[in-house]
Homo-oligomer: A and B are copies of this chain.
Amino acid sequence: MNTFGNIFRLTSFGESHGPAVGGVIDGMPAGITIDMEFIQNELNRRRPGQSAVVTPRKENDEVVFLSGIFEGVTTGTSIGFVIYNANQHSSDYDNMKDLFRPSHADYTYTTKYGIRDHRGGGRSSARETISRCVAGALAKLALKEMNIKITGYTSSVGEISVPGNYMDYDLDLIEKNIVRCPDPVVAEKMEKLILSVKKDGDSIGGTVSCIISNVPAGVGEPVFGKLHAELASAMMSINAAKGFEYGMGFEGCHHRGSQVKDTFINVDGHIRTLTNYSGGIQGGISNGEDIYFKVAFKPVATLLMDLDTVDKDGNEVVLKAKGRHDPCVLPRAVPIVEAMAAIVMLDMILMGKTTIL
């Protein structure tokens, strides 16, 4: 299944070491002006090689649009796009052809399909997420027309977390450091941790937090297309994601209902809530407050150390470390989380237009 979304839909393709990755975006509203600089900048935020804390692979990741845009404006027809692959060291993966890397998808793909492209993880590579960033960038351009803003940041790396919540920070500081953390002091600690993990040939997990602001009340579907269920599905489709929570999340389980109720109040004629434990969503539908959620990412499975495993015939073998990889997925996961959030929001807003005549 390579399509995500109901009305605004991304269908993606591409293996890490094939000729290209790309996709088709369907349902993009007509009449949106394309800001190529903004789109390319979104891809740059995801790009390998952008800083010392990510993989040193150099990939330009330039998107080429093939349809759906005429004289710089979307026409409402489907938007095909490609990003050509380059700087592939496919031979780095020759030793993996017949064996299964631990905690990777090599074994499961082989079981499912009877065949796999072993080079760099093939279809299961996180390189696939470029397509999401392209679709997310287009969605952001449409959402900007409604003044909706999506902001992600690294909220923890290993045991190091930002204290407090998003309202305690100046979110403009996020892009000022290479881990994408709004607290400069914590950011420095995170950076140090990642570099130390990298030196060990190891990897480390963490969390991305994300806020969607200025969403009008009434967006989302009841029962099975709940706004947070769509967000959960979107986030859990990102490589290495292990958990999702919104509003008070897992922490809320410890509390009594009387402690975490969001009292409705009247603020200058607008119905608002005094607190926002609900995370901006009630019954699956936005209530006009900030939507916020958190995604857990495991430490990436690729390690620069020798690993025990088996080959396709079940022989126990040692996988020799090789290649160039991310010691921590978090800094590059931030734009991907934002992109998926943007895709969901635009899709749900478009869906919402169909509920009344």
Residues of B close to A103: CB separation below 8 A: 257, 260-262, 277-278, 282
Interface residues of A in 39-96 (CB under 8 A from B): 64, 66-68, 70, 73, 75-80, 82
Pick the residue among B202, B224, B296 that contacts A2 (CB under 8 A).
B224
Most chain B CB within a 10 A radius of its CB, from A19, A26, A235, A288: A26
Residues of B close to A200: CB separation below 8 A: 256, 258
Residues of B close to A213: CB separation below 8 A: none
What's the least CB distance linking A339 to chain B, in Å?
13
Can you list the 3 inter-chain pairs with the closest CB atoms, starting with the nearest?
A105-B283, A1-B225, A243-B245
Are B23 and A285 touching (Cβ within 8 A)?
no
Residues of B close to A302: CB separation below 8 A: 257
Residues of B close to A260: CB separation below 8 A: 103, 298-299
Q: In the complex the two chains form, what is the Cα distance from A212 to B145 in whole Å?
A: 36
Q: Determine the residue in chain B with the shortest Cβ distance to A266.
A: B314
Interface residues on A, range: 35 or more
Most chain B CB within a 10 A radius of its CB, from A2, A6, A197: A2
From A111-119, A162-170, A171-179, A184-192, the one touching the partner chain is A111-119
Supply 20 A–B pairs (Cβ within 8 Å), ascending by A: A12-B78, A13-B80, A19-B64, A22-B66, A31-B113, A31-B115, A75-B123, A100-B264, A100-B271, A103-B257, A112-B217, A112-B219, A112-B285, A197-B256, A223-B237, A226-B237, A257-B298, A257-B300, A257-B302, A277-B298
Q: In the complex the two chains form, what is the Cα distance from A205 to B297 in whole Å?
A: 25
Interface string of A91-129 (1 = CB under 8 A from B): 000000000101111011101111111000011100010
Residues of B close to A13: CB separation below 8 A: 24, 66-68, 77-80
What's the least CB distance linking A121 to chain B, in Å?
8
Are B296 and A252 touching (Cβ within 8 A)?
yes
What's the least CB distance linking A141 to chain B, in Å?
11
Most chain B CB within a 10 A radius of its CB, from A78, A235, A308, A353: A78
